[in-house]
Structure 1
Amino acid sequence: MDKSTAIKSFAMTNMLLEADLDKIEQKYQIDLGRKSGQTNKIEETYFPQFDASLRAEAKKMARHYVVFYCLEKSIRQLIVDVFDSNGDDEWWENLVPPIVKDNVKKSIKREKEAAVTPRSTDPIDYTTFGELGEIIKSNWTIFGGAVFNERKALEKVMAALNSLRNPIAHCSPLAEDEVLRLDLALRDWFRLIS
């Protein structure tokens, strides 16, 4: 095989492998990290204008954001699943504390008035992290025993997670000790629901 044919064969094999990996990523909804070098127009234009140390800090904090994103979304889904399995189709109206429902209505109204794309059609997606804990605690007869064994433990873990969430959500770096606390609080959370 001559050089030109070998190079063409190598390139074609690479393209076929890339296409197969694209299918795997799409089928299993995973990111294998193959496209980390790809950027969009905004990233190419504006990102380099930020100080390098700020970009490095943001990259370090991004993993904590991802963890909290997954945690908060999974707690919302846990609440929905528990209420749905309880059989009350009107659980939002019947079981969510009035203060939480009022805050959600205000958030939805603010979003409409800002003329932005609504984040969701489901009101639970407008709750804060702290309000998720309030929903669980106010319905302890449903969640206690079925999902959680100790109310005090739940309150302690939710409070710890909420205090750690604030710097992450408000773009402040986590100190090394707080990163350890986050790891421990996540372990505690998963121990609570297991």
Structure 2
Amino acid sequence: MAKNPETLIRAFGMSALQISDEMNGVSKSTGFDLGLNGAFRRKRQLEDYDQFEKEIRNQASMMSEYYEIFYCLEISIRRLVSQTMMEATGQNWWTSARVPPGVSTEVAARKKKELDSGFDLRSEHDIDYTTFGELSTLITSNWDLFEPIFSSKSAVSTILNRLNVLRGPIAHCCEMSDDEKLRLELTVRDWFRTIS
């Protein structure tokens, strides 16, 4: 008995989807790009450094995912702080009384050290020189501005302090344990949950 052509086409499509999913799984588990996303990815510069052991290159590639998380999170927190302070105090908010002296002093020292090194300054904005701890201080010492944004002052402080600790292995080129990866994922979720 011949099957309906529409049924055969549907079955073929489902089989193709299943094969594609399995190939994506193989690609992820082996780290080998099968070009399933429409185009082969651009060659990464790290691949040109055969002098480094393959194991080290693989670790670096795996850890880059966690660097991306921190990069996005840190930039978005800085933008949130900067926007909120600018709306309340104006364009020159960094020089206002709302920035605790300890924070501005540390940032000035970092900028001077960077300038004295002969390298390009990373940014023209002082907020870009702050640590998670200093971002926490900026938020909690200006709680009247941030209270409408966050559900709890103490949660913000706790989460940013946790992120500061979790950032260490990434900033200092150490591999994160599975527990720390999970802790990072949960802490990022906590951060977004604390935003009202």
Same structural fold, with TM-score higher than 0.5 when normalized by the shorter chain: yes
CA contact (8 A) 2:156 2:194 kept: yes
Mapping of residues 139-158 of structure 1, within 5 Å:
139-144=142-147, 146-158=148-160
Residue identity opposite 2:128 in structure 1: D
1:54 maps to which residue? 56
2:106 maps to which residue? 103
Aligned-partner Cα distance in 1 for 2:44–2:165: 33
Q: Secondary structure at the match of 2:50?
A: helix
Residue identity opposite 1:36 in structure 2: R
Aligned-partner Cα distance in 2 for 1:105–1:87: 20
Q: State which drifts further: 70-79 or 48-57.
A: 48-57
Shift of 1:120: 0.8
Aligned-partner Cα distance in 1 for 2:156–2:108: 27
- TM (norm. structure 2) is 0.75
Residue identity opposite 2:73 in structure 1: L
Mapping of residues 179-190 of structure 1, within 5 Å:
179-190=181-192
Residues 97-136 of structure 1, C-alpha deviations (whole Å, 9 max, x = no match): 1111111111111111111111111111111121111111
Q: How many residues align?
A: 159
Aligned-partner Cα distance in 2 for 1:33–1:182: 31
2:164 maps to which residue? 162
Identity %: 42
1:75 maps to which residue? 77
Q: Whose helix fraction is larger, Structure 1's or Structure 2's? A: 1
1:128 maps to which residue? 131
Aligned-partner Cα distance in 2 for 1:174–1:39: 22
Q: Secondary structure at the match of 2:118?
A: coil
Q: Secondary structure at the match of 1:36?
A: coil
Shift of 1:37: 4.3
Q: Secondary structure at the match of 2:121?
A: coil
Shift of 1:34: 4.0
Among 111, 115, 136, which residue is 1:112 paired with? 115
Aligned-partner Cα distance in 2 for 1:50–1:166: 23
2:41 maps to which residue? 36
- TM (norm. structure 1) is 0.76
Shift of 1:187: 0.4
Residue identity opposite 1:81 in structure 2: Q
1:63 maps to 2:68: no
Q: Structure 1 stretches of 5 or more lacking a match?
A: 1-31
Compute the RMSD of aligned alpha carbons: 1.8
Q: Structure 2 stretches of 5 or more lacking a match?
A: 1-36
Q: 1:33 to 1:116 in 2, by over 3 A?
A: farther
